[in-house]
């Protein structure tokens, strides 16, 4: 079985999430509405929209899962009402405006799966004036966390292995957000909800979060636990919060501190967080104030320091760099140039093999390469 199909099996097993979307769709979609489903996967949200009375659903999916979604729609009797469009929604045009746009590209902390970028574009190009988006708003939630096992994963890099030093990796580890399913007992204090945004309006704009988190039990502070609450419709919310019994099956995010800090009831930490949604970049600064210490303890981290960027790739981004095509880049250019609307695929494959014999030992290998380019860029 394709792993992407099995991934969607897990999504369909999450009945809490599905019932939340079902209720929100019933509340928002009216008979005769036109609906757009972004990143539709198996098409489940579009099917629910049809059940709610949608006249037409435009189901947009970039992956080849779209073919399975077509079969699923026909199996459920909605093959004539759901129109499937393969590709990124930002590169697709629709023949008519939509009454409702929906998506579940939310991520662990609300922004990582592309919702802000896709929603802002879809609102501008697809949605009727006064139209509805599902979700309507996202709220960012933070709490102080004690999580020794995750901290040990970070500190692992300070320990030698086979007599060798690996501590250079520790900086990367300490500037990474970790998906984790937090438990209520791992929280050192109550959560705060410092920011609520409409992802269809925020778009690529930076998000700024600032809040003070109280400590209400003694323990060791290892980092920040983060999650979201999504307002799907006026009366329906869904969340991956460890504090709710109606929790969807989606992990949270743990942002570590540079070192553990012992805390007591009455201590607090002030968090300042800057988020670049489209770059999936987060900078977090924490100031821990303890009753027994006059000065706060301050840490600053950024996922920009957690990115693996090679020296070669960095050099290629310098403004003074003069690029030229590699042999594989030249082969791709050949394919794109030959896509002139006149040549059949077999001729393109043969010509690519003729021009680049050092890259392709046979026609079949050239055909595989051509197919990868054609399926992505041809119309």
List the domain boundaries for the chain: 3-104, 138-311, 327-377
**pLDDT bracket for residue 114 (50, 70, 90):** confident
pLDDT 10s digits, 349-369: 999 999 999 999 999 999 999
CA gap 163, 20 in Å, rounded: 52
CA gap 76, 349 in Å, rounded: 39
**pLDDT bracket for residue 229 (50, 70, 90):** very high
**CATH tag, 138-311:** 2.70.160.11
Smallest CA-to-CA distance from 288 within 158, 145, 113 is with 145
CA gap 301, 285 in Å, rounded: 6
Q: At residue 1, does pLDDT exceed 60?
A: no
Q: At residue 312, does pLDDT exceed 90?
A: no
Q: Are 339 and 378 in contact (CB under 8 A)?
A: yes
Considering the entire predicted model, what is its pTM?
0.89
CA gap 54, 45 in Å, rounded: 11
Read off φ and ψ for residue 245, nearest 5 degrees: -75, -25
**Arch. (CATH architecture) of 3-104:** 3-Layer(aba) Sandwich (3.40)
């Amino acid at each position: 079985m394709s792993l992407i199909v099995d991934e969607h099996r897990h999504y369909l097993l999450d009945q809490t999430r599905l019932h939340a979307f079902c209720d929100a769709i019933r509340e928002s979609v009216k008979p005769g509405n036109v609906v757009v489903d972004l990143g539709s996967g198996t098409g489940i949200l579009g099917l629910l929209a049809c059940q709610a009375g949608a006249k037409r659903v435009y189901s947009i999916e970039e992956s080849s899962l779209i073919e399975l979604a077509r079969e699923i729609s026909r199996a459920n009797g909605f093959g004539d009402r759901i129109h499937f469009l393969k590709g990124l929604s930002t590169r697709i045009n629709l023949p008519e405006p939509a009454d409702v746009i929906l998506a579940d590209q939310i991520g662990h902390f609300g922004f990582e799966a592309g919702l802000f970028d896709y929603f802002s574009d879809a609102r501008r190009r697809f949605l009727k004036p006064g139209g509805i988006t599902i979700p309507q708003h996202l709220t960012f939630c933070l709490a102080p966390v004690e999580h020794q096992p995750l901290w040990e994963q970070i500190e692992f890099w300070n320990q030698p292995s086979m007599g060798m030093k690996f501590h250079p990796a520790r900086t990367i580890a300490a500037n990474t957000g970790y998906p984790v399913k937090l438990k209520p007992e791992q929280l050192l204090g109550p959560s705060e909800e410092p920011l609520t945004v409409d992802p269809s309006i925020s778009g690529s704009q930076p998000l700024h979060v600032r809040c003070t988190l109280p400590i209400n039990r003694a323990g060791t502070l290892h980092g920040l636990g983060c999650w979201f609450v999504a307002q799907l419709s006026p009366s329906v919310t869904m969340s991956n919060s460890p504090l709710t019994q109606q929790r969807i099956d989606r992990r949270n995010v743990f942002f570590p501190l540079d070192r553990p800090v012992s805390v007591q009831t009455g201590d607090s930490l002030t968090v300042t967080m800057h988020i670049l949604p489209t770059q999936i970049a987060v900078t977090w600064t924490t100031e821990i104030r303890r009753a027994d210490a006059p000065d706060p303890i301050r840490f600053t981290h950024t996922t920009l320091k957690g990115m693996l960027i090679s020296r070669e790739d960095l050099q290629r981004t310098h403004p003074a760099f003069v690029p030229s095509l590699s042999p594989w880049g030249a082969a791709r250019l050949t394919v794109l140039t030959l896509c002139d609307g006149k040549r059949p695929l077999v001729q393109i494959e043969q010509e690519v093999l003729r021009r680049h014999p050092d890259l392709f030992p046979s026609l079949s290998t050239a055909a595989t390469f051509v197919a990868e380019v054609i399926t992505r860029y041809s119309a």
